[in-house]
Each structure stands twice: as structure tokens, then as C-alpha cells.
Structure 1
Amino acid sequence: MVDFVRKWTAATDVTSKQLLTWVGLWSSTFSNWSRSYGRTYEHNGWVPRDHWLNEEEKQAILKFHFDHPLEGYRRLTYMMIDANIVACSAGTVYRVLSSAGLLRRNSRKSKKGTGFQQPLVAHEHWHIDISYLNIAGTFYFMATVLDGFSRSVVHWDIREKMEEMDIEVVLQKAREKYPDARPRIISDNGPQFIAKDFKHFVRLCGMKHVRTSPYYPQSNGKIERYHRTIKSQCIRPLSPLNLEEAKRGVAKFVEDYNTVRLHSAVGYVTPQAMLEGRQQAILEERDRKVEEARMLRAQSRATKRQKATPGCSDAPLGISYANSNAAEDRALLGSNSSAASSPLTNIRGGQHEPSLVTRVPAH
């Protein structure tokens, strides 16, 4: 159609707008066709793209999901990229799992407490909290120090009692790992944290102490969420029979949590990588892998098409607006000579419009 309009506009005094009116085509549609003239048609979402996943990659995603059934689709995406299994976007993994009926619905998060200013560097905030552990019918206390920026577990301990002096020992051991750190200590209003001796200890160490709102544990939600995770994924599945077995299990979990498990709150990198400032490099490497995988898939499909049909174009879809021929002109102008003296019937709406042939001089 683009070639037709250009041809007869150049050969006659008829404007392109008049030609489009005679053939029943909107000017905006013709403008869109002109802009995309000679390029591959890529507007049909049902036409397969060369960079789409192949069947082997889809099966690899499903297998990886079954190997890690507790992980969300975003964490699965970045775990597969880091392990060089399948490189694709999180949306692609979502569609694969959704089509297989493997997605779970998550509860909506509360917006309360969103005014909290997040730390910008490591060791700016240290969250500390105490949680109960039921080990073989006996309750123990676990205290954890968590870095608010990287979500890294700085130090932890499990004891039969957890008084103010025990909290000082836990914090002191955390400071020994990072002696130059001067964090703000964030805790709830437990008796250990409101004691005068604890305030004096924090002041001597050059740190600051902030307590959360009463009866609102979500204000210290980072450490609360960590304790919920370690209970559901470590203590309860392990079911330790004594304190030593529980400590060994927690130590193994903390090592995996800090160095292996991808954390959703820090861009799906490990807390250790976030603590060491390697987050941006990891994200850039993932983007490179995804783009490279898309190009390789496109090249592979183009090569298969060339082998299957020798001499064909290597365009991804094989559809082009170019290569207009005289057959289109004949179809529009009519195939018999009587059309020159009779009106050209326009099927749209059952209306008749003047014949285009009567305006075009014979050649």
C-alpha cells in the first residue's frame, strides 16, 4: 500500500490524502505504515520472538522451582542467573510458573511505619532483639544483632537466661568483629534495654540507642522478620534435642543466610555481598547475562531457520512491508477494462465511492 500510494502520487496530480480517501484508509494508519515501512512487523504479540525461552529452558526453570519450593519467583530468577542455569527476567519466570500453576498468593504488606529512614551505609543501624526458642520442651533465649543496611547477622547467641549483662556481652562481641563501627542501636522496650546500666554501656562505647514504639513490634521489623525466618526454616525443621545441637544448626543457618541465600530486601544479593559493597557489580553482571542469553537464543533460532529454508531471510519473523509488487496495484485498480467507466465498489459499509481508475491517466 505504501508503494502504491507513493507511485500514483508521483505519477499524477492526486494527493496522497485523496488516494487514501478513495481506497478507504485512514491517514493515521497510512502514517504508521510509512514509519514502519521496510522493517520487520513486530506488533503481533502472538508471533514467537527469537529471544523467547526455548522448551529446555522452561523445563529447567520448573525443575529449579521444584528443587527450591520455598523461594519466590524473583529470588529464583537471580539464583538461576548466578548459577548460570537460565538467564531471563523475573517477569519471564513469573509467566512460566504461572502457566504451570505454581505461583502462591502473598499477603498484602502493611504500610504502617513507612516513614522510617533507611540506613545508607553499612553499620549505620544495628537492630537487636531477644526471641524465645523451644528446644526439646525447654525455653531458651536467642539474642541477635542485625545490620540494618545489609541485613547481615553481625552476631548471635543462645543462652538459658538473657539479662542486661548478657546483652552487653552480645553487643561487645559484635563490636569486636567491627571495632571501627559506631552504629545506632535499635531495640524494643524490653527490661534489658531500658536498664540504666545498658544506657551507660552504650554511651561508653560511643554508640546511640533508639527504642521503638511501645506495642508495635513492626517498628523493629527487620530483626523480628529474621527471627521468624530462623524459627520456621531452621529450629522447627531441625527439632534439636539439646542446646549444643541447636547452636550447631543455627551457626550453619547463619552462615548460609549471610553468604548464600539471596535477600529480597537488598536487591536479591547476599547480605555479605551487600556488606562488602558488591551489589552494583552483581546486578550489572546479571543484566549482561540476560542480554547475552537473549542474543544467543535469537541467533540460534535464526541459524535453524536458515538451515531449514536455504536462501531465506534471517529476519526474526520473516514478515516485511517491503517487496510490494504490481499484483497489489492490479487488485486495487481492478482486472478488467470496464472498471474504468464504472464506479469502484467499496465493500465497507455497503457504500459506493468514485473509481480510482477514472482519475488516473492511461499509460
Structure 2
Amino acid sequence: MTKKSQAKGKAPGRAIPGYSKTNNGKKVSDEQIKEYIIQIIEDEGYSYGYLKLTYALRRNCNLIINKKKVYRLCKELNILKQQRKIKPKYPRKLAKNRIVTGSNQLWEIDIKYGYIAGEDRFFYIMSMIDVADRNIIAYHIGLSCTAEDGIRVIKTALLKRQLYDVKSKPIIRSDNGPQYISNAYNTACKDLNIEHERIPYNTPNMNAYIEAYHRILEDECLGINEFENYAQAYREVNEFVKKYNTKRIHSSTKFMPPNEYYEYLQNTNEKVHIAL
């Protein structure tokens, strides 16, 4: 093949790495940057285009990022052809203070980013936790993480808890990631008769239980393993979740593993009291 024909064939160039770096060298995944973009738009309320968003990301998030990448991320978020203030079909329902007295009342969902050193890319772990019994009811591991993946996590959790066809379902609480503000995700919640609420920006304490789980995941799995490939990462995280649910004890669960504590609550009808 001649150079000319190669040019016509448009051979693929360098693969998109899927992250940017901060000024101190920390890698930040593209999905996290999308959350930053949404936060800047909704929090500040300005009609920023992708160029101003580039400078805002540099100033607010300490990112080394160029306008072409920000344009691409904005295009993926589908916010280029409309006013920069996102107006989703389903308006945000803010999380409110609640008292949880038992399982299947409030589930928290969030995404954790893992890094595969051998492939120099991120992978994603979306987990759903029951606030009362601390079980990771369902989760997704993948090289991408979409609203459709989030919908599958909800449906899997409902099936596992035998709640798919009952009228009264748990409230699902999330942050403001692009997966959770999408029309697809909120349409699914509506169709499943699930109330979905989102925490205000910069209030991770309102998603405290999934945040605490992710700290454990980081300390006991992601932070102590240098993954060579995605298959290894997938295997290690799966094994960690299994051990977390069936073996890891918590003082808040009467020193029982989450699975055992869930059965205990179901069999004794004992009430918990969690204010959040």
C-alpha cells in the first residue's frame, strides 16, 4: 500500500486516553471531568461555551486540558446546541433529610474510578448500597459507565431484593453525574415507580454511606493493587465485593457482615435509626 492510499484510508491515530491530568500530575477520568462540567454549568448558572468551560476547568479543577477535548466532552453530554444551562426533561429533585428505620427504604448509588496501570486507562465501578444494612446490592464494572448501566443496576437490585413488582420501593439517592441526570435514567425510575433524588453539589455527606464504602474499596482493593489489565481489575473487584458482603464486619451492623445483618433485620423485625 502506498503512502497516498494509506492517507486515503485514514488509518486510526493515537487512542483517546480517557483522562486528563491536574497540575500536580494526578489523573482525572473523562467521566469525572463531565461531572465537573455539569457542576460548573448548573452551579454558576452562566451560559458558558466550551472555550469558557475550558478556562473554568483549569481554574476551578486545576486541570491541564485543551478546548478540543472540552468540546468533545460537551458534545458527548449533548450540551452544545442549546443554552449552556442544562434543562433536563426531569427537573432535579433535591435530597432531603430522612430517617431510615430498616432495609429497602433508601439506597445510595455512586461511581468509583479505578486505574489500570498496565493499560494506562480508567475503569468504572457503579455501586448501589442499602443504607440500613450496608449491603452492596448490585453493581456494574466496565470500561464505560452509562445511564443504561445505571438502569441495569437498579433492576438487578430490585430483583435481588424481590421488590420488582411491589408498590412501595426504595428511594434512590445519587449525586449529579451525567448518568443520573439523563432522561433515560429518570424515565426508568418513573416507569419502575421509584423516587430518585439528587444531592446538592459539594455535599458528599448526604451520600455518606456509599462514600464510606468507596473509601473501603480504595483502601482494601484499588489502592493496594496495580492492575495489569482489565480482566485482572474485574476479577479483583468482584472478589472484593463478595468478601465485603459476606465476610467484612462493621460495628454499625452488630459486627456482622452485611448479608448476615440483612437477614437478621428481616427475621427479627428490629428497627434501625439512621438520620441523614
Alpha-carbon distance in 1 for matches of 2:110, 2:199: 11
Kindly indicate whether residue 109 of structure 2 is the aligned counterpart of residue 128 of structure 1: yes
More helix by share: 1
Instruction: Describe the SS at the equivalent of 1:245.
Output: helix
The CA deviation at 1:197 is 1.9
Match of 2:181 in 1: 194
Match of 1:55 in 2: none
Kindly indicate whether residue 252 of structure 2 is the aligned counterpart of residue 265 of structure 1: yes
Task: Tell me if the contact between 1:192 and 1:198 (Cα under 8 Å) persists in the aligned partners.
Answer: yes
Kindly indicate whether residue 236 of structure 2 is the aligned counterpart of residue 253 of structure 1: no
Aligned match of 1:205 in 189, 192, 195? 192
Aligned match of 1:138 in 100, 103, 121? 121
Percentage of identical aligned residues? 29
Instruction: Describe the SS at the equivalent of 1:276.
Output: helix
Match of 1:242 in 2: 229
Q: Which amino acid aligns with 1:185?
A: I
Alpha-carbon distance in 1 for matches of 2:266, 2:254: 8
The CA deviation at 1:171 is 1.7
The number of aligned residues is 168
Match of 1:231 in 2: 218
The CA deviation at 1:238 is 2.5
Gaps of 5+ in 1: 1-114, 282-363
Alpha-carbon distance in 2 for matches of 1:118, 1:243: 40
Alpha-carbon distance in 1 for matches of 2:170, 2:199: 16
The structure whose Rg is larger is 1
Gaps of 5+ in 2: 1-95, 269-276
RMSD, aligned α-carbons: 2.2
Q: How does 1:55-66 map to 2 (within 5 A)?
A: none
The CA deviation at 1:209 is 0.7
The CA deviation at 1:246 is 1.3
Alpha-carbon distance in 2 for matches of 1:263, 1:253: 15
Aligned match of 1:215 in 170, 182, 202? 202
Alpha-carbon distance in 2 for matches of 1:240, 1:264: 31
Classify 1:241/1:185 alpha carbon distance in 2 versus 1 (closer, same or farther; 3 Å).
same
Q: Which amino acid aligns with 2:98?
A: Q
Task: Tell me if the contact between 2:102 and 2:265 (Cα under 8 Å) persists in the aligned partners.
Answer: no
Alpha-carbon distance in 2 for matches of 1:123, 1:223: 15
Instruction: Describe the SS at the equivalent of 1:193.
Output: helix
TM-score, normalisation: structure 1? 0.43
1:261-290 Cα shifts (integer Å, max 9, x gaps): 111222322111221126998xxxxxxxxx
TM-score, normalisation: structure 2? 0.56
